[in-house]
Amino acid sequence: MATPDALDALFPAHLAALADTATSALAATGASALVVGAGFAKLRFLDDQPDPFVVSPHFKAWAPVLDAPGSFIVHVPGRKPTLLFHQPEDYWHKPPTMPSGAWLNSFDVRVLRNPVEARAQVPTGAAYVGEPFAGCDEWGFAAVNPPALLQRLHWARAVKSPYELACMRRAAALGARAHQAAAAAFTAGASEYQIHLAYLEASGHTEAELPYPNIIALNEGAAILHYTQLKRANPPVRRSFLIDAGAQYRGYACDITRTHAASVSPFSDLIAGLDALEQRLCAMVRPGVPYADIHLEAHRLVAELLVEQGVVTCSADAAVATELTSVFFPHGVGHLLGLQVHDVAGHQSAPEGGNSPPPPGHPYLRLTRRLAPGTVVTIEPGVYFIDLLLDRARQDGRGRHIDWDTVADLAPYGGVRIEDDVVATATGPENLTRAAFAALGA
């Protein structure tokens, strides 16, 4: 795994490629320079307490600076980029620490004591990318978040540089270690909240530093796709544990899901079947493959698993054709991953824009692009027992192909999801998640 020094050695090439993309996008949109804002801390309504600051993904693409609100990047084609680092004079709060590391040599660094000092350093004709701020329209920007510029920047983000991949391997290592700690806490009898605390400690993250709120569900909670309740009390009977939780390194995320059974049961067989199915889908992550094909194959394989486990009584082909699989697998098989967990431009059809919608009957698929070398995606099939969707199936006739006794046996376990982060490379898929677990001996 790359050390911080090795990552810093990869950074100049990453920055140069990012600058080339920005220069091309500027040329296509008529702006002469690019200003990228980190964003600003925001106070809660009728309060003097700020919400946790979340840096703009565009800003952290340029610099691994995650906690310096009011900072800016200035890119003028042909020049060294400028990092305008906001470090206020403040005795109420600790000002952001000046970053260090060899990566910083790639920038002209200037310290701001007040964000408005940046205004004098904004080139004429610059486009601004970031959250608009008070007085933004008075800074003389040629455009603020122009769509033609954003589309080109967003399109390029799907393909990761060697530096970005190295960061994502580090994130995967943190996530795998924390998942192991969470699984051990479950085995030891911990509650959802206690498992969450074990995860935070093992990952070295605060809650605000997580790339997304942890999904930690015991029993029926696993049937709620984005369950974040974190109950303090344990259920009377512990049947199952689903954890969907990530980590970040230099602003790049991992996104990992595992499901565990408390004992050997038909549910543990379902977990094993879905795990094998998921690895077959991961093997499809190759350059040139339309991601929608992986999603459709996931439904075919889930249908076979449902037949094998006795959940549905019709053929696998009939389960797909009648959309019966969507009762048990209602979400997309995955998404782009990187600076954001659900990274941008998943439906974009070209650098200059356009939309490629999901296949009919699959509205929740977040990614429809053809995979390019260096694209990082998640693969996360699932099988759930969701009362709302099961009731709809009873009402619309699909329920006649469901074995309701089997569903009644499995529903108290909630559901199963297995998720890995995978890179499409010229030599085949690189599974960041499985490699991270393997390095821990798992």
Pair type for strands 353-355 and 348-350: antiparallel
Residue with tokens 């933004």: 136
pTM for this structure?
A: 0.96
Please say whether the beta carbons of 312 and 344 come within 8 A. no
Pick the CATH number of 162-439 from 3.90.105.10, 3.90.230.10, 3.40.50.300, 3.40.50.2300: 3.90.230.10
**In whole angstroms, what is the distance from residue 178 CA to residue 81 CA?**
36
Please say whether the beta carbons of 310 and 223 come within 8 A. no
Number of H helices, E strands in the chain: 12, 16
Q: Which amino acid is at 405?
A: D
The domain made up of 4-156 has a fold known as Creatine Amidinohydrolase; Chain A, domain 1 (3.40.350)
Q: Which amino acid is at 153?
A: L
- Helices 162-187 + 432-439 axis angle, to 10: 60
* Residue 347, CA atoms < 13 Å, CB-side half-sphere: 11
Instruction: Give residue 4's pLDDT.
Output: 86
Residue with tokens 């080139």: 123
Q: Give the DSSP H or E segment for 306.
A: helix 291-308
CB atoms within 10 A of CB 354: 11
Instruction: Give residue 364's pLDDT.
Output: 97
Instruction: Give residue 442's pLDDT.
Output: 76
Instruction: Give residue 111's pLDDT.
Output: 96
Instruction: Give residue 375's pLDDT.
Output: 98
The DSSP letter of residue 271 is H
**∠ CA 129-133-139 to the nearest 5 degrees?**
75
Please say whether the beta carbons of 35 and 83 come within 8 A. no
Distance (Å) of CA 208 to CA 104, 195, 213, 387, 407? 25, 17, 9, 32, 38
Pair type for strands 420-425 and 415-417: unpaired
Tokens of 190: 């911990």
Tokens of 188: 């030891």
Instruction: Give residue 77's pLDDT.
Output: 96
Instruction: Give residue 275's pLDDT.
Output: 98
First and final C-alpha spacing in the chain? 17
Instruction: Give residue 273's pLDDT.
Output: 98
Instruction: Give residue 2's pLDDT.
Output: 83
Count Cβ neighbours within 10 Å for each residue of 6-20 and write b for 16 or more, e otherwise: ebbbbbeebbebbbe
Please say whether the beta carbons of 414 and 217 come within 8 A. yes
Return per-residue pLDDT of the chain as tens, 442 residues.
788 889 999 999 999 999 999 999 999 889 999 999 999 999 999 999 999 999 999 999 999 999 999 999 999 999 999 999 999 999 888 899 999 999 999 999 999 999 999 999 999 999 999 999 988 999 999 999 999 999 999 999 999 999 999 999 999 999 999 999 999 999 999 999 999 999 999 999 999 999 999 999 999 999 999 999 999 999 999 999 999 999 999 999 999 999 999 999 999 999 999 999 999 999 999 999 999 999 999 999 999 999 999 999 999 999 999 999 999 999 999 999 999 999 999 999 999 999 999 999 999 999 999 999 999 999 999 999 999 999 999 999 999 999 999 999 999 999 999 999 999 999 999 999 999 999 999 7
- Per-domain residue ranges of the chain: 4-156, 162-439
**DSSP symbols for 144-194:** ES-HHHHHHHHHHTTBPPHHHHHHHHHHHHHHHHHHHHHHHHHHTT--HHH
Instruction: Give residue 1's pLDDT.
Output: 77
Instruction: Give residue 420's pLDDT.
Output: 98
CB atoms within 10 A of CB 30: 13
Name the residue among 269, 185, 199 with its Cα closest to residue 234. 185
